[in-house]
Structure 1
Amino acid sequence: TLLGIAIPQLAPWWLPVVGMIMAIGIAKHLYGGLGYNPFNPAAVGYVVMLISFPKEMSQWVAPDWMGQFDAGNLGIIDTLNAVFFREFPAEKSLDMLTGASPIDLIKGQLKMGIPFPEIFGATKDENRAVLGMFVGKGWEWVNVSLLIGGIYMIYKKVISWHIPAGMLGSLFILSGIFYLTSSKGAYMPPHYHIFSGGIMLGAFFIATDPVTTATSNLGKLIFGIGAGTITFLIRTWGSFPDGIAFAVLLMNLSAAYIDHFTVPKPYGYQKKAKGDK
């Protein structure tokens, strides 16, 4: 399910097949199956697809009501033809139906030296169809919904609060520092980092995988802070528009090391003296 959410709607049929093979066959069962995989399977599948097929992974369909595209939405038959045969109606094409995501649009224009207030301001009416009035039309509602779902899982004790709090908190603080100290608006503001992209999905539903994360509460907090920091670094200076999957995988690699220093010793544990067998 998590992998399916991360794939564009009109991606060719073989793309999710590749992602599932990498996620289930390689990232999970190659290491022994459920409970033994060191890396988050969904993140592995997503990263493989993103690196191997960047074009197919960046062709997101824009909602019909965004006003940016006149082509309209495809019907069921046309969608199936597009997915399985890459055939589109005569008056439509893939380029007409897809476009950059809000976070990709913002990042691209920031790299061109355009200040954030100008990108998001009234002087950029051509961006308004994608960016809306907050962080991107529709994106804020998706992330708010994921936030509500994540809070509910914490309330039901399905997950703990440590990883989401560390991940969202570190991303918010770092982005706030850079945004406030930049006199030319060269960085995205904190609210945009929090309510755009897949940060809510990553913080509550991916990074909290109990198999691939740290086990102690302190370790989970460190894990979340590290993931949020790496996400900010990739979003700000990396080549990819979002860095959540990369951040989670790098922290998966560090989980055992974090546990080594944060897991409490059992009661009665005594460290062996040097030379004892």
Structure 2
Amino acid sequence: METLQVTYGIHAVDALFKRRRADVRELMILEGSRVTAVNELKQRAHQHVIKVTEVSAAKLKRVSGDGVHQGVVAMGLPRPEFSERSLEQMLAADKEWFFLVLDGVDDPRNLGASLRVADGAGVDGVIIGRNRGARITPLVAKVASGAAETVPCIRVANLARTLRFLREAGVFILGADGGAEVTIYDSTVDRSVALVIGSEGKGLRRLTREQCDQLVSIPMHGSVSSLNLSVASAVMLYELRRQRDQFTE
């Protein structure tokens, strides 16, 4: 018997249909729904002979685990898992790599938001510790708004060891640290890079910090002392994207 995974929310289900339509086994929609996006998903499911079931709001709430399902839930095969071996295979290709590394980030909403930002900035993969990081849950996929299907989330056993491997492969390791004198705008990145960000309130762990080639901060000009994780990720990733694009023009 197949093990099926829940995906809910319009954007998350839409991305699932686009990326892994063959893995979808059933689409559940709110009975009587007049939401255009929901009915478009229903039509696409019918076109590809995917089972469609109209169910009550109570059933959708139960299946989604009280998630904000927006009237649609898909049941499908689990997402592919990415590990250290996957990372090794990726780095065998001759290209300039762009990674986001999350150190000790265990909040599913932060992971989902970071995946969404990573997709927008063109990141090749998000690396997270297997034992100290959040997993890709239905909530993460919903918050990621489709990015859980487009950005590989690479789970590793030892983050410090993985960073060391990346450095040996020629990837520049840039760590986010609110106390760093050098800001992200002072950095110059013209090659493969991995941006490492720690959890809110704790920051980078010592062993992680020791593997960074450089620590950078975001300049704060107001009264607050820091930004939340996903906003900080967005600021830094888009600045790194700008720098990389500048050097490839």
Range class of TM-score, shorter chain: under 0.3
For normalisation by structure 1, the TM-score amounts to 0.25
Identify, as 1 or 2, the structure richer in strand: 2
Identify, as 1 or 2, the structure richer in helix: 1
Higher CA-based Rg: 1
